[in-house]
Each structure stands twice: as structure tokens, then as C-alpha cells.
Amino acid sequence: MSTEFVIIGAGSAGCATAYRLAEAGRSVTVIEHGGTDAGPFIQMPAALSYPMNMRRYDWGFQTEPEPHLGGRVLATPRGKVIGGSSSINGMVYVRGHARDFDHWAEQGAHGWSYADVLPYFQRMEHWHGDSGDAAFRGNDGPLHITRGPRANPLFNAFIAAGQQAGYPVTADYNGQQQEGFGAMEATIWKGQRWSAANAYLKPAQRTGKVRLIRAFARRVVIEQGRAVGVEVERGGKIEVIRASREVVVAASSINTPKILMLSGIGAGAHLAQHGIKVVADRPGVGANLQDHLELYLQFAASQPVTLYKYWNLWGKAAIGAQWLFTRKGLGASNQFEACAFIRSKPGVDYPDIQYHFLPIAVRYDGKASAEGHGFQAHVGPMRSVSRGAVTLRSGDPAVAPKIQFNYMSDPSDWDDFRRCIRLTREIFGQDAFKPFMKHEIQPGSAVQSDAELDDFIRAHVESAYHPCGTARMGRRDDPTAVVDPECRVIGVEGLRVADSSIFPRVTNGNLNAPSIMVGEKAADHLLGRAPLAPSNQEPWINPAWQVNQR
């Protein structure tokens, strides 16, 4: 079997790349180990806690015991289904801050500054915002972006509390001004999860140019320094799917470095340990692993206004039935309808703390708080300096890689999280929450000192599921870079990486939007096109950032 392009992974970036290549008339084969995304667990937005915890849809990765979290092992979900992690995520749509991309360019990712990537965000979007910055947004792309109805009074209480605490309100955090409190955006359209599979892959397949193959990608086949295909296991047999032009690895920031290493691309000594012949000695493969951590700060409600009243068999059945027949009601929302991006202290030039607000006190796995009616904020710092690595456990492709984030390994991480907790308590102490506030569930009002807060953080901090950075983009002469600014793997011809692995540094907020943007931009590089013309739109930076925290 041969095709012009072979893409490993039908995830956020892989689907976008396949769509644009097909649009240009190219033949594409997409390899995906997971199966169909049909069924309510994926397509119903409110059911988001289910697919992430189902082995059918999730690779089931876990970290090694994390040394700075008392040896805790954390889940690292990655989508194993068409749409990849866009089919199991929380559907939150955040581009990232303009300064994130300017930082990428400063780190050697030339052509990836905010001015360069904004046109790609606009190309991919079909924005349905009711207020915001139309000049910064796209209105005819494949990816529909909507806002929830904010019918629950707690959503607007959260935004009002932020304003009362002295923070700005932003009409559109994905537009000119990220900083502030406002409505959250989601990849939801007509009451359904609008994953990369729905937005990109299925329309691309309808062109007849994209063939989807269900198989397990073992390694990239490299002959005389050039990638010529992908070795897969399918139906118990091993075969090679050949690419006449290029191979694109878009398998996630966990599986992409694993596949590169199994193909002979990585730190030479590490590959030799596992009996793998070195094709390109790139020590950056698997290194630079980073993520966002968050805490769930929970509060008991004094009124029965939260979603807890539906957190029983009958309530869930009623929501599910309404959604099944009408695509409306509570089932049509991910319940993340209000959010905030703030700065932690004076001297920080753009937001470094993110909030997701939720009108129920519940864990991400769907287990509700024992206290009943409540609400919570997910809060965490955006730019931890801690770094980890993905390494091989074995030279056998069937064995999962070792994942070590080294979470909280820098003293600044602890200071950042203590700040997050104290700033959050102040926000929830505002008048806007007085009609709804009963008491703090967790950490609990008795937990006040640095040492007490640190104990709580160590025991309760969770991944926000934003791993990235394991095949970093940079200059071709940078020994720690894995791909150049055109996504080409340095040292191998005909091979590119297009997913969150290439991020030099994690962006502000959730990673689905910037991952899709990478797929969009990589497609232009694969097609040999000139990049879209840079934008001249200027982002807003708080003029008093040097002296004020808000």
C-alpha cells in the first residue's frame, strides 16, 4: 500500500493536517489505533467524565511515582479513538496568550510568533461568540466555537466576584484581551462535541482523498536517512504502509517521542540501552515534558442551585434522554461556562493563573462531593519551570513508555500554588457569592499556613491533562531541538512532527486549540506553501503590570 502522505494519529493535529492535504488534492493515509467515536459517551458534552476513564477510548497511561508529590502516581489520559484527545477532553477552547507564541519564536521557532499563528487560528475557526473581538476571530473555518448559555446564576456570580475583587472583565479571552473574567468557549456545536474528527477528519474522508486505517503504529521505516513509511500491526500481522512523499507523526506528546525513539531518533545512549540502532542522535526526543497542574477548590452551597440535584440515576437519565432527542438541555454543555485568566503578582506581564468554574463540587472522574450541593474552581499556574521526560521502558513497541513529569520539583511551583489558593479564597469571599456560600469544603478554612497548604497541594494537586514539549521545535543548529520551524525532524528526510510535542513551552490554558493550529500550519509546510501573511493585530497587555497584580 502506498500513498503520498502517511499520518500517524487521528488526533487534534493529525485530523487538521489530513483535511488540508486532502483539500489540496493530496492522497493521505491516517493510521489510528483507536476505533469509532460513535455513541453518547463521546458526543454528549455533559458526559465528558466518561470517555476519559474508559479503556476503550483512552491509552491508560500513568506517570511513574512522582517524587515531589509523595510518590503519587497520576493518570495521563490520551485519546485512543478518532479525534484523539479532542474526543475525550473537556471541550474547552483556549488559543493561548499572544506572548506564549512570541516566546516560542524567541526560543528558535522562527515563524511561530503571535503575528504568524493568529491567521491560522482564524482559518480554523467558525466563531459563534455573542460579544468579543471579531477582528481577531475566524468565521468560516471547520471548527465551531460556542459559548454556554450561563443559565445557572453561579456562572455570573463568579464573573461578578472577579470584578468586585478588582480584576478586569474580558468580552473575549481568545481575542485581544485574555486577562480577566468572562464567558468560557467550547468546541461544541448544535449540542454535540465538535471534535477534530467531526470538524476535520470526517469531511476529509468524504473527499475520497483520505483513507483511515485502524492499526497500531510500531515505528517509522527509514531507508538511507529518509522516512519511507510506517510499520504497523494490523489484524495480528506486521506490514509497512509506504509514503511516496512524507510521514507525519501526530501521535501525542506521549506516543510521538516513543515512536521516534523506536525508529532510531533520540538520545543515542538511551536507544543503545534498548538495542535500537541510532539513525539521528537527538537528545531532545522525550525531554522537555511539561504540563499544567490544578487544584479543585470546593465550596458548599447554601441554596440548591447547583447541578447536584441531577447527580443521581434519574437526573442523569432525564438529561441524557433530553439530549438524545433534542440535543438541548444540560447535556449539551460541558458545564465549563465561566473562566478567568489573572496575573499572580506585580511584575508578571501576562496571566499566569487560569480558572475553570463549575457549578457542582465534583472530581473529574465524576465522583460528587460528599457534602452535596456545592461549586468549585479549578485553579493552577500556567508556567511551571518543572520539566520531565518520556523515555522507553523497552524496545518492544507494545510496552507503554515511562512518563516522569517531575511535578512540583522547583520551589517556585509551591509559591505559585499557595498564591493560587489565597487569591481564590479572596474571590469567593466577595459579595457576589454571599447568597450562595455556606463554607469552604476543600482545603477547608482551617488550612492556612504555608506548611498546611503545601500538605494539601501535595495530596490533592491533579494534572489538567496538558502534556506537551517532548519533540521541541527550534533552530536546526540547536542540539536540544527535535524539529525545525517547518516541523521537519532534524537529521531525517521526509519526516515531520505535528502535534503538541513540538511546543517549546506550554501555552496558557487548554492545549486543544494550539494543537489544531499546529496541524493547520504544518499542512502548509508539507504542501510547500508560503505561510499565511502575518497579522498586525495587537494584543492587550495590562498597562500597570509592572506595579499592580490586578
Catalytic residue among 103, 144, 378, 466: 466
| In contact, 14 and 498? CB cutoff 8 Å | yes
Q: Is residue 466 annotated as a catalytic residue, yes or no?
A: yes
Chain centroid to Cα 30, Å, comes to 21
Measure the CA angle with vertex 37, ends 36 and 41; round to 5°.
Answer: 135
Question: Helix or strand or coil: residue 52?
Answer: helix
Residues 508, 100 contacting (CB under 8 angstroms):
yes
Task: Let me know: does 341 contact 351? Beta carbons within 8 Å.
Answer: yes
- Exposure on the CB side of residue 180, measured as CA atoms within 13 A: 19
How far is the C-alpha of 104 from the C-alpha of 507, rounded, in Å? 9
Q: What is the DSSP string of 382-410?
A: S-----BEEE-S-S-TTSPPEEE--TT-S
Single-letter code of the amino acid located at 207 = T
169, β-bridge pairs: 181
277's CB contacts (< 8 A; 6+ apart) are 264, 271
**Is 89 assigned a ligand-binding role in the annotation?**
yes
DSSP state of 82: T
Phi, psi of 267 (to 5 degrees): -70, 120
Q: Is 94 known to sit in a ligand binding site? A: no
Burial of 450 (0-12, 13-18, 19+ CB in 10 A): exposed
Cβ neighbors of 543 (< 8 A, separation 6 or more) are none
Mark out the alpha helices in 275-312 (DSSP H runs).
none
83 is in an annotated binding site: no
The dihedral through the CA atoms of 15, 21, 25, 28 has a sign that is negative
Residue 251 CA to residue 516 CA, distance in Å, equals: 13
Spatial separation of the C-alpha atoms in residues 224 and 216, rounded to whole Å: 24
> Is residue 81 a known part of a binding site?
yes
> What is the Cα–Cα distance from 109 to 120, expressed in whole angstroms?
16
| Distance, CA of 279 to CA of 268 (rounded, Å) | 9
Give me the residues paired with residue 29 across strands. 6, 211
On whether 92 is known to bind a ligand per the annotation, the reply is yes
- Annotated binding residues for FAD, written as ranges, equal 81, 89-92
Annotated binding-site members: 81, 89-92
Catalytic residues: 466
